[in-house]
Amino acid sequence: MKFFIDTANLDQIKEANDLGILDGVTTNPSLMAKEGISGEANFLNHYKTICEIVDGDVSAEVIATDFDGMIAEGEKLAALHPNIVVKIPAIKEGIKAIKYLSSKGIKTNCTLIFNVGQALLAAKAGATYVSPFIGRLDDISSDGLQLIEDIVNMFNYYDIATQVLAASIRHTMHIVECLKIGADVATCPLNAILGLLNHPLTDKGLEKFLADYHKLNP
């Protein structure tokens, strides 16, 4: 399973990249706003900076919601760097834009996926990734992980090449469950990735190893 970091924060992106396990980055307009980024030029610069830090796919989301606007934005974003993936919402115009952009060889990530039907239409349009949102489904007492499993099974059954990018991951156990289900990618907040390393027996064991060493090597 590939690991993407789900943030537009450059320090967190660098920290995850320095771990040596990072395969890509996802952003969205809310994450960009959180970093105080506004204006088209600053958005484009920020995406370029992320692409210079990480050697992997970087999702940049369109703001337009009409076909012409989405493809114009998508082509501009894709021209920034070969690793840019144009992120497009799972709406009618979005499916048409994914079809158009993928026919031009531009990678796309269909976002805001909340059911298998949306995932199927995005995949048929040629999306590189579909992003089902786990946490937001869990928030409304629905089962986000079940949706990941259903889409993984559907894509396997029909031999669909589109990758399942598990999004809206809120904590470490979401990542562990995505691993078991067979998601292609998990895009995660930094603390959820670092949480994979947390184990009291690791800390306790290391403390004892070092204490034993220092007894004989004061």
Active site residues: 87
Q: From CA 205, how far away is CA 124, in angstroms rounded?
A: 50
Strand partners, 34: none
- Residue 114 Cβ, how far from ligand E4P at the closest point, in Å? 11
Of 31 and 80, nearer to ligand E4P (C-beta) is: 31
* Residue 104, amino acid: K
Strand partners, 24: 4, 57
Of 137 and 152, nearer to ligand E4P (C-beta) is: 137
Of 102 and 131, nearer to ligand E4P (C-beta) is: 131
Where on the chain is the footprint of ligand E4P (CB under 6 A)? 6, 26, 28, 111, 131, 133, 135-136, 167-168, 187
Lookup result for tokens 């450059």: 10
SS3 label, residue 6: strand
Of 29 and 203, nearer to ligand E4P (C-beta) is: 29
Taking the chain, what is the end-to-end CA distance rounded to the nearest angstrom? Answer: 44
Q: From CA 20, how far away is CA 192, in angstroms rounded?
A: 16
Strand partners, 5: 25, 188
Q: From CA 155, how far away is CA 119, in angstroms rounded?
A: 9
> DSSP label at 28?
-
- Residue 153 Cβ, how far from ligand E4P at the closest point, in Å? 21
Comparing every residue's Cβ against ligand E4P, the nearest one is 168
Strand partners, 26: 6, 59
